[in-house]
Chains A and B, each alone.
Chain A
Amino acid sequence: MTSVLLKNGRVVDPANGRDGVFDVLVRDGLIAAVGKDLDVPEGVTVLEVPAGCVVTPGLIDMHVHLRDPGQEHKETVKTGVTAAVAGGFTAVACMPNTSPVNDTAAVTRYILTRAAEAGLARVYPIGAVSVGLKGEQLAEIGELKAAGCVAISDDGFPVRTALMMRRALEYAEMLGVLVIDHCEDLTLKGDGVVHEGAVATALGLRGIPGEAEEINVERDITLAGLTKAPVHIAHLSTAGSLRAVRAGKARGIRVTCEVMPHHFVLTDEALRGYDTNTKMNPPLRPAADRDALIAGIADGSVDVIATDHAPHHADEKALPYDQAPFGITGLETAVSLTFDHLVHRGVIDLSRMVTLMSVNPARILGVPGGSLAEGAAADVTVLAPDLEVTVDRQAMKSLSKNTPFDGWTLRGGVAATFVDGRLVHRNTRVAGLTAWPSAPVE
């Protein structure tokens, strides 16, 4: 069933300047028409969009870890894309820190094969900047691109040296590939595990100053200026980093950035009690940084909301705080956190939410999507802005359950997800959706 008419939903499609009640006609997996009171052609199933629900271009998470190959006890491509569509994402871009590292076409093709088998969300592999993420030799970026990588990153680590970053920017720009950098000065980070400050001091946990991130953000923006190449700052988390990005943009440098829901929702106060699900990198920051990120999201300095979905097994997160791995899952909470903490609090409107979670990720990665234009692949997310969602980690589709938001009640969620016009996820808790056909992920 890839021919459907989504009837009478509020359509929010900022790329085409649309915000109003329309029908969306999908034929053979493509958007055929968006308009009022469209006729129903033969063979097209009519799906009434429940009152209050919103039809948007499919959401794209440009920063996830699918852990496959190599750490399939945390996540597989299949469980990862299942979590993605359950969270409203029709596409994800996955980081190369798998085992083996995605620094060869063979690994890229393996990931794409697994994604095709799963047949849920699109998967855009991100290749490594350096062989083995070691920062010593450039990976074969041309081959990675030919195999299907849409960007390169050493995520998990920063691109180690200024020279390596310069060369990567130049070489990738030649090929039309984006460089995404995890900004962190490893020498300044040392053995830190949480944000350096009063909370870390009270808890006796080793600190990482925000400046460890900011030094590399400044470096990358400076080098993007030198090379006239685009750079994307991954998981930006401090006020100082945001100032650097704003200043870079003002100078005409091609810098973009993403912010994670946990960084605009939580502060380092959440560390009290030593729940290892509050440990991620970059770490939770104080309220001043959190508030600056919210302001940056509101004023447009922040380009993207992504999740840094980082599944870890419960056994790994049961280690003592300083030994537990960094990272939390994010695919299945991002929409609810964004609604509850940004849209419903008046920080951004729905159109801006769609821009941050669909239009801009597509534009920055240079992939299709982010638009309900006629002829586009029918990747569509139906959002339920007023749905009351109680986060239940046991009910999550991700293989890992490492979220700090378990038990939280949030306003706003996902009603349904379509990829290539196919209903891949249906949330039966949304009134009216029980009348829809069933979906592979419910």
Chain B
Amino acid sequence: MSAAPVTSLQGRHLLGIDDLSPDEVRLVLDTADAMKEVAARPIKKVPALRGRTIVNLFFEPSTRTRTSFEIAEKRLSADTLNIAVSTSSVVKGETLLDTVDNIEAMSPDMLVVRHGSSGACHQLARHCRSRIVNAGDGMHEHPTQALLDAYTIRQHKGRLDGLQVAIIGDLMHSRVLRSNLLLLRKMGATVRVCAPRPLLPAGIEALGAVPCRTVEEALEDADVVMMLRIQLERMHALFFPSLREYFTLFGLTPARLALARPDAIVMHPGPMNRGVEIASEVADGSRAVILEQVANGVAVRMAVLYLVAGGGED
């Protein structure tokens, strides 16, 4: 028995990839195709969310994700408001729930939330009337990043099913890893992961990842290579000795990239540390799709906002 085709995410939150079925992932990606076309127009605006109020509530600094959401919202004609932690009442000791209660009192339709604590969006979703779109919670999930990554992969490979994807870098602290892993496994891809052992999360196999001991093993015949950002302060917590040694053992160089399939694409969620996780020759090379990811981010976020707002039903 096949269920009725999925046409909307109305009434739902987007807290994580964990909540989406494969059909719903496809719905977002297909909708993003239509949204992408808006960016090519001379007047980059559609009236889909006219009269809706979306608050971008960022408790962690973010340039790229916040900008991407904001552009997506404006292209859908929503009324948008950005609240950043440094200018909010949080610094005065207000709690997360109080902050959100105050915003909700002004009747927004949707909250796009980034927070440094894993599970913060889940707690808000239990507490709020507004729809919540998770723009990154702690080390847990960053679902729109995984969706835009999947969109970019599908654009280049025509499919997700059966692909070999290598994800390399700070796996331990990465919400991008977790959302990508969940999404790619859900859609039938194989995900190999590689990190210095202290940055390999316990039980990552239980999420369907295949850990590799060397970056070479992870890269061999990969269709997609996804490099994760190394936070420069991690070496002070003894995760690895130095950035220099990190690049020596794990950095993506042209020589290492040659182990992947000839048509492999190179991705990075940004911001990049050139010369740490990725060599400039690779980052700026013909296989890199890093700026396409950024461009696609707007279309995918338009699709998510549109579908969560109830669009797409007809």
Chain A interface (Cβ within 8 Å of chain B)? 190, 196-207, 209, 273-274, 315, 318-323
Contacts and interface: CB of A to CB of B under 8 A. Distances in A.
B117 A321 contact: yes
Contacts of B97: 318
A320 B140 contact: no
Contacts of A190: 237
A120 B177 CA distance: 54
Indicate the member of A197, A274, A315, A322 with the most B CB atoms within 10 Å: A274
B202 A204 contact: no
B22 to A, nearest CB: 19
Given A319-B96, A320-B123, A322-B138, A204 B206 contact: no
A201 B203 contact: yes
A204 B177 CA distance: 10
Nearest to B141: A204
A315 B95 contact: yes
A207 B117 contact: no
A176 B136 CA distance: 55
Contacts of B138: 204-205, 320, 322
B119 A206 contact: no
Given A203-B140, A204-B139, A196 B119 contact: no
A207 B120 CA distance: 17
11 contacts: A201-B201, A202-B207, A204-B140, A204-B141, A204-B175, A207-B202, A209-B202, A274-B118, A318-B97, A320-B96, A321-B123
A315 B97 CA distance: 10
Nearest to B237: A190
Interface string B80-120: 00000000000000011100000000000000000111111
Contacts of A318: 95, 97, 123
Given A198-B206, A204-B138, A320-B96, 16 more contacts: A200-B202, A202-B178, A202-B207, A203-B118, A204-B118, A204-B119, A205-B138, A274-B118, A274-B119, A320-B118, A320-B120, A320-B138, A321-B118, A321-B120, A322-B117, A322-B118
Nearest to A191: B237
Interface in B131-179: 137-141, 175, 178
Nearest to A201: B201
Contacts, number: 74
Interface string B174-208: 01001000000000000000000000011110110
A273 B202 contact: no
A203 B138 CA distance: 9
A91 B120 CA distance: 39
Nearest to B178: A204
Contacts of B206: 198, 201-202
B122 interface: yes
Contacts of B207: 198, 201-202
6 closest residue pairs by CB, A with B: A198-B203, A204-B140, A320-B117, A274-B119, A204-B139, A198-B206
Interface string B224-253: 000000000000010000000000000000
Contacts of B175: 204
B245 to A, nearest CB: 22
A322 B115 CA distance: 11
Chain A binding surface SS class: loop
A205 B137 CA distance: 10
A197 B140 CA distance: 14
A323 B119 CA distance: 11
B201 A320 contact: no
What bracket does the count of chain B residues touching chain A fall in?
20 to 34
Given A196-B202, A201-B201, A321 B178 contact: no
A274 B202 contact: no
Contacts of A322: 117-118, 138
Nearest to A199: B203
B141 A198 contact: no
Given A204-B139, A207-B202, A321-B117, A273 B95 contact: no
Given A320-B117, A320-B119, A321-B118, A206 B202 contact: no
Contacts of B116: 320
B120 A197 contact: no
A151 to B, nearest CB: 35
Contacts of B203: 197-202
Contacts of A321: 117-120, 123
A323 B117 contact: yes
Contacts of B118: 203-205, 274, 320-322
Given A201-B207, A322-B117, A323-B117, A273 B201 contact: no
Contacts of A207: 201-202
B59 to A, nearest CB: 9
Contacts of B141: 204
A196 B172 CA distance: 11
A379 B257 CA distance: 75
B122 A274 contact: yes
A197 B203 CA distance: 5
A202 B97 CA distance: 24
A319 B117 CA distance: 10
Contacts of B178: 201-202, 204
Contact of B119 (A201, A203, A209): A203
B235 to A, nearest CB: 15
Contact of A205 (B115, B123, B139): B139
A204 B116 CA distance: 11
Contacts of B201: 200-201, 207
Nearest to B175: A204
Contacts of A323: 117
A273 B19 CA distance: 12
Contacts of A206: 139
Contacts of B140: 203-205
Given A274-B118, A320-B119, A322-B117, A198 B202 contact: yes
A46 to B, nearest CB: 52
A185 to B, nearest CB: 14
Contacts of A205: 118-119, 138-140
Contacts of A197: 202-203
A267 B137 CA distance: 24
A214 to B, nearest CB: 16
A319 B95 contact: yes
